[in-house]
Amino acid sequence: MRTTHERKAETRDRILAAAGRLFRSHGIDAVGVDAIMHGAGLTHGGFYSHFASKEALVAEVSASSLAHSAARWERISEEEAPPAALARIVESYLDPAHVAAMERSCVLASLGPDVARRHEVRPAITAAIRRMLAVLARCLPGRRQQRAFELLSAMVGAVVLARLCDDPVLADGFLQAGRRIAGLR
Amino acid sequence: MRTTHERKAETRDRILAAAGRLFRSHGIDAVGVDAIMHGAGLTHGGFYSHFASKEALVAEVSASSLAHSAARWERISEEEAPPAALARIVESYLDPAHVAAMERSCVLASLGPDVARRHEVRPAITAAIRRMLAVLARCLPGRRQQRAFELLSAMVGAVVLARLCDDPVLADGFLQAGRRIAGLR
DNA sequence: GAAGATATATGACGGTCGTCATGCATAACA
DNA sequence: TGTTATGCATGACGACCGTCATATATCTTC
């Protein structure tokens, strides 16, 4: 039997999920509280019994989305041997499907500059970036730490640039470049 | 003697410059026409004798800002020998001052995802990216084309990530990684 | 210097934003 | 089963948004 308290927590999660989806596809400032609540199947009024402000929601949704990505990378690196884990992480990140699916994409590549402007979110983002770097370092051979910084930079930059390119051939050039930095193919 | 026509063109440039500055520091949707005109030393009403809409201004400001960056890179690559030109371009891009100065920063790193969502701007952006890739390829040794894609990805990603990091040591890790991909130090 | 042209300012419009006070169903508990 | 608590809906607020009609001030031209 589902208690009132559980029901509220589920609703809260639905709001977070809808906000994450809408923020990534349209940008944070282009999406109002009204649209977020509608995306969660609710009306706008109840919002403030779940979050103190839209800005508080923004902070929570960016931090939790990125933490979710970090956790997924950690899970992959525990399930598979280093080279296979690296390949899975990098290939899925540089997959044209990931480039196209803005609404489910990594926060670093879809909301990076917007999040960087909100200083109060940066501690949580920094923590998640550390976790992602640690996973990459664990999977990489050679000078692991340095190569993790290089690879994460290249992955994020490649997706941002591929999304900016009108020409699919040019976009693919960036994705291939990311794979080479990872040591794949 | 400055004609009325010249005066209008100058005003238009001031509006473009103010918009570029404000869009980069606060995000496109966070800045209204009112703030842009005030930033150019005018009041809001005259805006529509210079631009058809805010969206038209956004398209022009992002395209012209990036074209300006591409032209600067081309000028550097003509003035100096390949290795020195590469060092100047990469060092200034990965300079902590460039990371901090959001309002004068490269459009790719400060507005990348926002511009990518506006499909009508992408042809102009793609053309500027091609010019930047060509400059890097001209300055790089070895497999020039491939390395240009790798380097531009790493440069953009490094700046985005450095801006997200609360910890200056971590931020510097990304900037150093970009320099290594360029073959510097 | 008068008349016309034009760059910018004033002011207002409908719409949407974030926020919150209030009302109503439904669930929790006696 | 009646009472209380609470999650969400309704509706409204002031502020701000993009846009435009109109007025003013300045420059051009005769």
Residue nearest to nucleotide D17 (CA to C1'): B32
> Considering only CB atoms, which chain A residues are within 8 Å of B158?
153, 157
A130 touches strand D (CB under 7 A): no
* Burial class of residue B145, CB neighbours in 10 A (0-12, 13-18, 19+): middle
Asked if B124 reaches chain A (Cβ–Cβ under 8 Å), the answer is: no
**Tens digits of per-residue pLDDT, A82-124?**
999 999 999 999 999 999 999 999 999 999 999 999 999 999 9
Residues 6+ apart with CB under 8 A from B127: B67
Is B109 in contact with A147 (CB distance < 8 Å)? no
Q: Which residues of chain B have pLDDT under 50?
A: 1
Read off φ and ψ for residue A30, nearest 5 degrees: -85, -5
* Average pLDDT score, chain A: 96
pLDDT tens, residue by residue, B120-147? 999 999 999 999 999 999 999 999 999 9
Q: Report the interhelical angle of A122-139 vs A144-164 (nearest 10°).
A: 120
Residue B12 burial by Cβ neighbours in a 10 Å radius (0-12, 13-18, 19+)? middle
Inter-chain contact A177–B149, Cβ cutoff 8 Å? yes
Distance of alpha carbon A178 from its chain centroid, rounded? 17
Instruction: Using the Cα atoms of residue A23, residue A28, residue A31 and residue A37 in order, give the sign of their dihedral.
Output: positive
Structure tokens at A40: 């969660």
What pLDDT shows up at residue A7?
80
The average confidence (pLDDT) of chain B is 95
Residue B114 contacts residue A115 (beta carbons within 8 Å)? no
Whether residue A5 is predicted with pLDDT greater than 80 in this model: the reply is no
Length of chain B measured in residues: 185
Q: How many CB atoms are located within 10 Å of the residue B8 CB?
A: 13
Which domains, and CATH codes, for chain A? 1-51 (1.10.10.60), 54-181 (1.10.357.10)
Give the mean pLDDT of A36-63. 95
Q: Which residue has the higher pLDDT, A185 or A172?
A: A172
Contact indicator for B91, B184 with CB cutoff of 8 Å? yes
pLDDT at position B1, please? 39
**CB-based contacts of B40: which residues, under 8 Å, 6+ apart?**
B11, B14, B15, B17, B18
Distance between B107 CA and the closest CA of chain A, angstroms: 10
Give me the pLDDT at residue B70, please.
98
Largest CA distance in chain A: 55
Burial class (CB in 10 A: 0-12, 13-18, 19+), B80: middle
The answer for B 4-63 residues in CB contact with A (under 8 A) is: 25-30
Residue B138 contacts residue A163 (beta carbons within 8 Å): no
75-114 of B, contacting A, C-beta below 8 A: 102, 108-114
Identify the pLDDT of residue B5: 74
pLDDT in tens, B57-72: 999 999 999 999 999 9
Identify the pLDDT of residue B2. Answer: 57
pLDDT for A80: 96
B-chain residues near A170 (CB < 8 A): 126, 129-130
Q: Mind listing the pLDDT tens digit for each residue in A119-168?
A: 999 999 999 999 999 999 999 999 999 999 999 999 999 999 999 999 99
> Cβ of A29 < 7 Å from strand D?
no
The 8 Å CB, 24+ separation contacts for A69-78 are A69/A106, A69/A107, A69/A128, A69/A132, A70/A128, A70/A131, A70/A132, A70/A135, A71/A131, A73/A131, A73/A132, A73/A135, A73/A136, A74/A131, A74/A135, A76/A135, A77/A135, A77/A138, A77/A139
A51: left (phi over 0), alpha (psi -120 to 50) or beta: beta
Distance of CA A104 to the CA centre of its chain: 8
Using the Cβ of A182 and the Cβ atoms of chain B, whether some distance falls under 8 Å is answered with no
* Six-digit token string for B16: 């473009």
- pLDDT of A1 reads 43
